[in-house]
Amino acid sequence: MDMQGKMILNFQISILIYSIISIPLIFLLGLGIILLIGIAIIALVFPILNAIKVSNGEMPSYPLSIEFIK
């Protein structure tokens, strides 16, 4: 349970960093808007999928997650 909490916290911090990085990219031909939409979809879908995995006894996996907390 402790490891799963660290994984989701790392994922949420990574999503925040990616969102902050994409804000200046909005001014470069709108690339930031596309990136923000992708980040929003990932931030919505992966916690739901991984909650289902954990309830089935499987290990969750969060893509593009930077490991801040070990």
Encode pLDDT of 15-51 as tens digits. 999 999 998 888 887 888 999 999 999 999 999 999 9
**Predicted pLDDT at 45:** 95
Percent of the chain residues past pLDDT 90, beyond the cut: 51
**Predicted pLDDT at 63:** 85
Three-state secondary structure readout of the chain: CHHHHHHHHHHHHHHHHHHHHHHHHCCCCCHHHHHHHHHHHHHHHHHHHHHHHHHCCCCCCCCCCCCCCC
**Predicted pLDDT at 2:** 78
